[in-house]
């Protein structure tokens, strides 16, 4: 019995001794256990372990840091709170500042993110990742020069890292420095030739630089490297459209539609783009069908109403055109924060166009007052809208408001000094008012700007005949007849 009692006491001693050892290392053990669970993808289990470590050791900065890492991005506020506590406990850890900056950037607090990345850089000036992250946050705020400077620092620290070049290229592209952006993307491709994003980005820069063939080549390469990124079909289609390859553009837009039917967020854009290509190709019925589909997918899509209205107008469906253009105008966003009309037109240029187009349709129907009102609204929205002045002048002319017509033609000429038709029409209006010298000067200028403008020769000939210059008049009449004959034969 004594032996038995000693045996049990021995077991108890072993257990107690083990427990004492476990207690002394518990916080560290929980941290290590949490790290192991993170490696296995058990994030909830890891959070529980880090939490237990904090309960046992409230000043364990490592536990707060690691729990903060795991909480993001599902619980971004909790992640920031944990990393903030880790900084309080250990303020010289650059890595914590960098990660808290990433979390702030994720929630849209770019100012806070930049402050954290800057602190990380102060603590570790050779931290290329912090420079890269700060570059992205600066670009998000529109500070492209700051982003370029940070990317340049990344390149100094890691000259063989393609990301520094590609990110600097993106900042330069955003600034409109397309040539330099293309050079950076090209360097990124040299360093990492299988990165589809760099080809895509270079293609985009080439597109904006009007190198449509280069853009098409890059988008094609991006598709070869990443066939699942089907948005490249849209961008390649836009490049083909820009260079006048409407068949190729339609094929690319169709491929995107076939691969995704209507289940992607911006499907209405693709139908609208394909409709524009079909219209320019002369397939107006197909174009109307695509604009109608775009409207079906997004009933408040003003651009599709506008485009359908333009095609209906070209087909002679004046009522349909007016209805569509009116709808486009109704859908124009009324943003109370936008008080500058010029900025509004930069953001939504088609709506001044919608008034102008509807004015043309009303003019075709004989509604001259309605047409003048629409052209006036287009001018109100965009005071530099040359064609709206010209069109309003033409309707005023038809409405026998010669002074008003001359004023509008004069404004169109001021905005576009090489506008031959505006000179010609102003000459006709001046001729009707008996201002022969003014009319002669305008016909002369119209011919200088557009030597094939047959009516200008005819009317200048009339002015020359009135002045007694019969030889000059005969030469102008002959030239007008020759041009009309040539133009009618084409």
Whether the per-residue pLDDT at 22 is higher than 70: the answer is no
Q: What is the pLDDT of residue 354?
A: 84
Give tens-digit pLDDT for 265-305.
789 999 999 999 999 999 999 999 999 999 999 999 989 99
Residue identified by tokens 């330069």 is 172
Give tens-digit pLDDT for 73-92.
899 999 999 999 999 999 99
Query: Which two structure tokens, joined as six digits, stand for 88?
Result: 């309080």
**Dihedral angle over CA of 308, 309, 310, 312, nearest 10:** 80
Yes or no: say if 54 and 28 are a contact pair by the CB < 8 Å rule: no
Mean pLDDT across 355-370: 90
Q: What is the pLDDT of residue 484?
A: 86
Q: What is the pTM of this model?
A: 0.70
Mean pLDDT across 378-393: 92
Give tens-digit pLDDT for 307-344.
999 999 999 999 999 999 999 888 875 433 333 334 44
Count CB-CB contacts under 10 A for residue 140: 14
b (16+ CB within 10 A) / e for 6-43: eeeeeeeeeeeeeeeeeeeeebeebbebbeebbeeeee
Query: Which two structure tokens, joined as six digits, stand for 171?
Result: 């900042």
Rg, Å, the chain Cα set? 35
Give tens-digit pLDDT for 113-150.
999 999 999 999 999 999 999 999 999 999 999 999 99
Q: What is the pLDDT of residue 486?
A: 82
Whether the per-residue pLDDT at 377 is higher than 80: the answer is yes
Q: Which of 12-26, 53-67, 340-354 has the lowest mean pLDDT?
A: 12-26
Q: Please, what sign has the CA dihedral across residues 311, 314, 317, 321?
A: positive
């Amino acid at each position: 019995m004594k032996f038995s009692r000693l045996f049990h006491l021995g077991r108890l001693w072993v257990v107690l001794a083990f427990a004492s050892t476990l207690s002394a290392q518990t916080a560290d053990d929980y941290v290590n256990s949490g790290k192991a669970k993170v490696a296995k993808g058990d994030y909830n289990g890891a959070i529980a372990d880090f939490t237990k470590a904090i309960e046992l050791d409230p000043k364990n900065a490592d536990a707060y840091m690691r729990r903060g890492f795991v909480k993001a991005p599902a619980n971004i506020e909790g992640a920031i709170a944990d990393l903030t506590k880790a900084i309080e406990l250990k303020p010289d850890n650059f890595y914590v500042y960098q990660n808290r900056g990433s979390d702030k950037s994720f929630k849209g607090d770019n100012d806070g993110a930049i402050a954290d990345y800057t602190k990380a850089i102060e603590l570790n000036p050779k931290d290329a990742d912090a420079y890269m992250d700060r570059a992205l946050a600066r670009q998000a705020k529109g500070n492209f020069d700051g982003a370029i400077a940070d990317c340049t620092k990344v390149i100094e620290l890691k000259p063989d890292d393609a990301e520094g070049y590609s990110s600097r290229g993106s900042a330069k592209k955003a600034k409109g420095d397309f040539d330099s952006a293309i050079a950076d993307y090209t360097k990124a491709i040299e360093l990492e030739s299988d990165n589809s994003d760099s080809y895509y980005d270079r293609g985009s820069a080439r597109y904006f630089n009007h190198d449509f063939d280069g853009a098409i080549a890059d988008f094609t390469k991006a598709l070869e490297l990443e066939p699942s990124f089907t948005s490249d079909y849209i961008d390649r289609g836009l490049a083909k459209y820009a260079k006048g390859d409407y068949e190729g553009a339609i094929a690319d837009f169709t491929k995107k539609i076939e691969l995704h039917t209507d289940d992607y967020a911006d499907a209405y854009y693709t139908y609208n783009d394909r409709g524009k290509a079909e219209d320019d190709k002369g397939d107006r019925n197909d174009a109307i069908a695509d604009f109608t589909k775009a409207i079906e997918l997004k009933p408040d899509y003003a651009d599709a109403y506008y485009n359908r209205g333009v095609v209906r107008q070209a087909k002679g469906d004046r009522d349909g055109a007016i209805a569509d253009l009116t709808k486009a105008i109704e859908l124009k966003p009324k943003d109370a924060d936008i008080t500058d009309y010029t900025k509004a037109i930069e953001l939504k240029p088609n709506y001044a166009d919608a008034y102008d187009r509807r004015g043309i349709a009303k003019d075709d129907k004989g509604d001259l007052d309605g047409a003048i009102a629409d052209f006036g609204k287009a001018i109100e929205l965009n005071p530099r809208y040359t064609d709206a002045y010209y069109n309003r002048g033409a309707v005023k002319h038809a409405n026998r408001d010669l002074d008003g017509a001359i004023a509008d033609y004069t404004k169109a000429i001021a905005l576009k000094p090489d506008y031959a038709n505006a000179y010609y029409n102003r000459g006709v209006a001046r001729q009707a008012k008996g201002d022969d010298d003014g009319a002669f000067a305008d016909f002369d200028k119209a011919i200088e700007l557009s030597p094939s403008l047959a009516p200008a020769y005819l009317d200048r000939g009339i002015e020359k005949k009135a002045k007694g210059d019969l030889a000059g008049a005969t030469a102008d009449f002959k030239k007008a007849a020759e041009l009309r004959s040539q133009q009618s034969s084409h």
